[in-house]
Structure 1
Amino acid sequence: MTRVLVVDDQFLIRAGLVGLLRAAPGFEVVGEAGDGEEAIALAALTRPDVILMDIRMPGMGGVAATEKILADASDPLPRVLVLTTFDLDEYVYGALRAGACGFLLKDSGPERLLAAVAAVGGGDALFAPSVTRRLVEAFARRASHAGRTDEPLPDLAALTAREVEVLRLTARGLSNLEIAGELFISEATVKTHLNRTMTKLDLGSRAQAVVMAYETGLVTPGGAV
């Protein structure tokens, strides 16, 4: 049973999501929140497996709430699935950096939503690698023009040569299976390298790893695989 917290400031959308999840087998709605502060309180109280997190809300938005929830939660951390109206919403990029596992468009159909929640609850990333690449590249371009003013980036020198290669291919949009074929190693070995990379760089999700690879310059928007 996947325990879900639904966060959206629009009552009708929130009610629709809650109703859909409650009607489907395998899901339990443990709470619903209308803003970020309420989401933080309910996440601590209910400890959901998955949080459906709206981005644009009055008061505290979804990015700040995601960061706070993941910073305060104990293992196992909830997996945050961002809900957005636009597939290239600038706030989605912020949510991925904060540790969200992926994003879902609000106009997705019921079957897509249920499959996404189930996948995220099972430990998978929601979106296809190609979607990750398109999202990150779009905002990496903006970041390169605006310049960076936030915290220092992780030091990739902590990684082995193989871990760097796996990270580079991950950021280029390849799946674990495709990376295994590219490097002539097993898929399990790819997962091991990626997990070690995330541990060394203190990253909480594959999405964060992809974002970090672009921000450190390991890969560049539009560059070759």
Structure 2
Amino acid sequence: MIDTAVPAVPLAAAPAGRRVVGATRLDADAHDAEHLLADLVRVVAANDPSVVACTHLVSSPWRHVAVSVSFAAAGPAGPELVAGLAAALGEDVALAAIGPGPVTLHRGPDQGRRGAREAAVEHATRSEGKVVVFPGQQALVGELPLAEVLTASAVEQIECLSGAYEPDSTLRVVGGFVRPRLRAGAMVLHCSSPGPRELVPWEMENPPQCGGH
């Protein structure tokens, strides 16, 4: 069943030329939500180098971790896109699709629809979300000048949570694990500073991994 009347959060428009999909199984654990996110990326945008995928701590119908992806607006749209996602991900997944244009479609269990929409709107407005997949992610390995981080990836701002840092500082990334956040319209990488001219991502450790994810 596809539903348009889910007034949990204000309407949002997808960025030009892109679609945004929010999804949830009402996972309480971020690791479980990242499994759903990996499946969502695989289904809608496995070969799209512009894909951005996020997790979101949402409030509807209770606090849980929902997910979202944005990708180039090509291929199936509208009901066909949502129906295809429901078939691929399972009927227990609630979905919300945006764009091009405002939120138009919802599908899945009633309890999850507001959470899926909340995640989709946060992503579309770039107001919140932990970014798990983003363009240029593979380039962020080892020690990198901060200017290179900003030119080689979709990261737009770097903020040091432990104080000011020198512009010629380097970013040290261990294991290629980088988790920026969407905040106030930008993709922001939060860091700490273990040395006078060295930054490290604030969130450093991978969650537990298992086969395929």
TM-score, structure 2 normalization: 0.31
TM-score, structure 1 normalization: 0.30
Higher relative contact order (CA 8 A, sep 6+): 2
- Tell me which protein shows more strand as a share of its residues: 2
